[in-house]
Amino acid sequence: MPAFDPQAAPSLMPEREFHFTQADFERIRKLIHQQAGISLAPIKQDMVYSRLARRLRALGLATFAEYLSLLETGDPQEWETFVNSLTTNLTSFFREAHHFDILRKHLQAAHHRPLRIWCSAASTGEEPYSLAITACETFDTLSPSVEILASDIDTNVLATAQRGVYPMERVERLSAERLQRFFLKGSGAQVGYARMRPELQRLITFTRINLLDPRWPVRESLDVIFCRNVMIYFDKPTQYQILKRFMPLLRPEGLLFAGHSESFLHAADLFHSLGRTVYERADKVRQTAKAAK
């Protein structure tokens, strides 16, 4: 039997509003991997169609082939929209709560200031604001000596994060004490919404960073990197290259936090697991072992 040729296949997908072939899907998989490092599984065809069909309607196009040809002309705005459309942003305040307990102890143990944290998949902001709340609680002040860089590839979610305004159902699991201390309601926000206090917003700098970009606007000597639930979208070689760039940005005693379904065993030469998806630099472990001999 001859090998399957997606370029020769007419359309293996159900009849839809827009012409969408297997070849179109393979082309999209290649483009999003080149642009953002995301490895789309074959089962993501329906998701890709539904998300990009909105762009075809908005642009008045009839087929995905037309859209992809337009995209490949190099319009930076459309590339940004393309990436925004295909990124997934699931988050919540204090997701994987044990990480924030570990973070609190790590901040307490540090003897230098300011402490510097990079939240590299900030999404709509719940994670960087959770980091800011943890810092405020750790040092019992709304102005701790902590700098948080919050980045994402998706400019739409970053805009939401920067506004710092959330429907009440997004914050309802937080304690009454945290709601009162760190959020504004009533005159400080729309009815049915809670707004982050400006003191917390001042702790965070929001910026767009594509982890595949050759240069990141990130200084060295970070105390913590949160990179949670984003590596699952990258293949192992891409993960390794990103981790290789993370390592020198961290202080020797710095910590890397990953998502609950992520494992970096393939990068054991770079990072050593401390358990529960928390990692330290592998060279620190080697230096400690050498000093103990």
Domain map (residue ranges) of the chain: 22-86, 98-165+196-292
Residues 119, 111: Cα–Cα separation, whole Å? 21
Pairing mode, strands 204-208 and 146-152:
parallel
Q: Give the model confidence (pLDDT) of 157-208 as tens digits.
A: 999 999 999 999 999 999 999 999 999 976 555 778 999 999 999 999 999 9
Q: Give the model confidence (pLDDT) of 226-245 as tens digits.
A: 999 899 889 999 999 999 99
Residue 113's closest CA among 139, 74, 82, 151? 139
Query: Of 51, 163, 245, 251, which one is the catalytic site residue?
Result: 51
Query: Of 55, 116, 152, 228, which one is the catalytic site residue?
Result: 152
What is the pLDDT of the chain when averaged over all its residues?
90
- Looking up tokens 């297997």, which residue turns up? 22
Q: Do you know the residue count of the chain?
A: 293
Same fold for the pair 22-86 and 98-165+196-292 = no
Task: State CA 160 to chain mean position distance.
Answer: 14
152 flagged as catalytic: yes
> Could you tell me the pLDDT band of residue 99, with boundaries at 50, 70 and 90?
very high
Structure tokens at 228: 């949670």
Who has greater pLDDT, 266 or 292? 266
Residue 128's closest CA among 26, 248, 257, 243? 257
What pLDDT is attached to residue 4? 35
Structure tokens at 104: 């609190």
What pLDDT is attached to residue 242? 97
Q: Give the model confidence (pLDDT) of 4-19 as tens digits.
A: 344 434 444 456 789 9
Residues 246, 222: Cα–Cα separation, whole Å? 10
Angle at 228 between CA 238 and CA 121, to 5 degrees: 80
Peptide bond into 10 cis (omega under 30): no
> CATH class for domain 98-165+196-292?
alpha beta
Residues 251, 287: Cα–Cα separation, whole Å? 14
What pLDDT is attached to residue 37? 87
Q: Give the model confidence (pLDDT) of 108-156 as tens digits.
A: 999 999 999 999 999 999 999 999 999 999 999 999 999 999 999 999 9
51 flagged as catalytic: yes
Q: Does 22-86 carry CATH code 1.10.155.10?
A: yes
Average pLDDT over residues 29-57: 91
For 201, other C-beta atoms within 10 Å of its C-beta total 19
Using the CB atoms, write b or e for 13-38: b if 16+ within 10 Å.
eeeeebbbbbbbbebbbebbbebbbb
